Amino acid sequence: MRINLAVYSCRFLLLTTKNTDSNFLRVLQGICGIKNVHPGSTNESYGKDEATKKNYSFQYLVKPSNEGEIAQIVKACNLYGIPLTPRGGGSGLAGGASPVKGGVVLSTERLNNIIRISTEDKFVIAESGVVTDELCKAIEVKNLYLPVRPSSAPVSFIGGNVASNCGSINSLKYGSIKDYVLNLQVVLPNGEIIWTGANTSKNSTGLNITQLFVGSEGILGIITKVVLKLISKPKYEYTLLAEFSTLDKLYNAIISVGSSVLEPSALELVDEFSSNLTTEFLSGTSSLERSFSKAMLLVNFDGNHQHLMEEKLEHCFHLIENLASGEVLIAKTEAEKEKLWKIRMNIGAALSYGNRIYRDIDIAVPVSKLLEFMSSIKRISNQFNIKVACFGHAGNGNLHTMISVDNLSDIENPNFIQAVDQIYKSGIEMGGTISGEHGVGILQKKYLPLQYNQAYLSLVKEIKRVFDPNNIINPGKILD
């Protein structure tokens, strides 16, 4: 009843007072309560995500508590012609949650209930605003496992993970979040509410609308509930770390381990620049195994049989021992593993220490092109005199190419822009994709025509128009 009244009253106000700001505010307050509607001017942190250092100004921050309220907000935005930007944890690295056209920011933070974890059906049903780490912990209490857990899990939301099709360090073995989404509840831009799939492990019924929403970055509607497939949690996870004196040797180790029968869950590289920078950043803390100055490879194995795990470690050691430089380190306990992963997990912090900032590019290339791609990045960085840290998901050919600068204005420098353009061009020429896991947002949209032809781009625009003819939901993103 409250839903109908709110929509009805917003129509009435529109007719009698010509779309004034205060009327729109009252409509929003009528829908989700005065205390859940805030002025944008006093909530600046919602005006950006982790990609853009710039705050975009917007009118209102709304914090609805359920899909019914969201449906009414969307209808009101359509009626008043006000843009709406959906927001999860705001940890995105493509600018997707930045309200570039102002209007309303819709935070899903109050949709934070885990509805059901089924051990028989091996799925979880959760609202989209549940913090990823909290969801993973609740799942693991039941001896189940959601293997795709991004490094941002303490702050990201599960709805944001699905909307950006996130990956994680063990995507090599387990894929991206798209491989776990069974069903989604979505509020469409016209305010209708749908379920996109079924809570079954198999479903061959009709168009795969579920996957259309995975990675749609909030431009087609607002995800309000997710149903995710779960697996059994492996009992053991071991880590191996090796250093390499040249990129060639590191690459040969990646190919050798990645194409073996060993099935590592993670195969992550850290280049020499990142290794040195982060060792220096962490120096003085007692948390490092030792200091590192060369490029390194981290390999994870997981499984349920200890003797098989030992065999895998030994096999892996033999594959890389002639390529590696110095001692190969192995970690089996949580404390040991944390020490070995410390450098890899702190590169972003090292790169943003003090006033430093970075521009993250997350191109993925076929693994066979990884050496060529890294050599090309090196060439470009020398040519344009820029500092680049390369690290990440080597097993997937998905690198974080982070260009380090001293301040924001450097990013607008034509020399910097040319270097970035060259890196994208080079990755695409090698058969790569613009984004392996962060999405397009505003940061990477300029490069879409490098990867897709005009017919593809027009089709995407048409799909957006079908869902959102008034271009209300997350305008300015992907192709807009």
Ligand X SMILES: Cc1cc2nc3c(=O)[nH]c(=O)nc-3n(C[C@H](O)[C@H](O)[C@H](O)COP(=O)(O)OP(=O)(O)OC[C@H]3O[C@@H](n4cnc5c(N)ncnc54)[C@H](O)[C@@H]3O)c2cc1C
Task: Give dist(CA 114, CA 134) in Å, integer.
Answer: 9
Number of residues that bind ligand X (CB under 6 A): 37
- If one asks whether residue 427 binds ligand X (CB under 6 A), the answer comes out as no
* Edge-first strand listing for the sheet containing 114-118: 114-118, 123-127, 222-229, 181-187, 193-195
- If one asks whether residue 475 binds ligand X (CB under 6 A), the answer comes out as no
CB atoms within 10 A of CB 140: 13
* Residue, CB closest to ligand X: 160
Looking at residue 157, the DSSP 8-state letter turns out to be B
Residue 57 vs 413, nearer CB to ligand X: 57
Phi and psi of 52, rounded to 5°?
-100, 125
CB of 151 to ligand X, least distance (A): 4
Residue 186 vs 309, nearer CB to ligand X: 186
* Edge-first strand listing for the sheet containing 84-87: 37-39, 60-62, 104-107, 84-87
Point out which span in 73-81, 82-90, 280-288, 382-390 binds ligand X (CB under 6 A). 82-90
Residue given tokens 């521009």 in the structure block: 359
Task: Give dist(CA 343, CA 329) in Å, integer.
Answer: 14
Site string for ligand X, 86-125 (x = CB under 6 A): xxxxxxxx--xx----------x-----------------
Structure tokens at 269: 């590289």
CB of 240 to ligand X, least distance (A): 20
Question: Taking phi first (over 0 means left), then psi (-120 to 50 degrees means alpha), and beta for anything else, what does residue 354 get?
Answer: left
CB atoms within 10 A of CB 137: 11
Q: Which of 76, 341, 474, 476 binds ligand X (CB under 6 A)?
A: 474
Q: Which of 24, 58, 80, 157 binds ligand X (CB under 6 A)?
A: 157
Residue given tokens 């450098």 in the structure block: 343
Point out which span in 216-224, 235-243, 326-334, 414-422 binds ligand X (CB under 6 A). 216-224
- If one asks whether residue 217 binds ligand X (CB under 6 A), the answer comes out as yes
The answer to whether the beta carbons of residues 66 and 33 sit under 8 Å apart is no
Residue 309 vs 364, nearer CB to ligand X: 364
- If one asks whether residue 227 binds ligand X (CB under 6 A), the answer comes out as no
Q: What is the residue type of 184?
A: L
3-state percent helix, strand, coil for the chain, nearest multiple of 5? 40, 20, 40
Q: Which of 70, 84, 139, 166 binds ligand X (CB under 6 A)?
A: 166
Point out which span in 113-121, 320-328, 413-421, 437-445 binds ligand X (CB under 6 A). 437-445
- If one asks whether residue 267 binds ligand X (CB under 6 A), the answer comes out as no
Q: Which of 73, 135, 144, 223 binds ligand X (CB under 6 A)?
A: 223
- If one asks whether residue 339 binds ligand X (CB under 6 A), the answer comes out as no
Structure tokens at 189: 């831009």
The answer to whether the beta carbons of residues 110 and 88 sit under 8 Å apart is no
- If one asks whether residue 64 binds ligand X (CB under 6 A), the answer comes out as no
- If one asks whether residue 185 binds ligand X (CB under 6 A), the answer comes out as no
Point out which span in 66-74, 166-174, 197-205, 311-319 binds ligand X (CB under 6 A). 166-174
Task: Give dist(CA 362, CA 39) in Å, integer.
Answer: 34
Residues of the shown chain interacting with ligand X in the complex, contacts defined by CB under 6 A:
49-50, 85-93, 96-97, 108, 128, 150-152, 156-157, 159-161, 163-164, 166-168, 217-218, 222-223, 348, 437-438, 441, 474
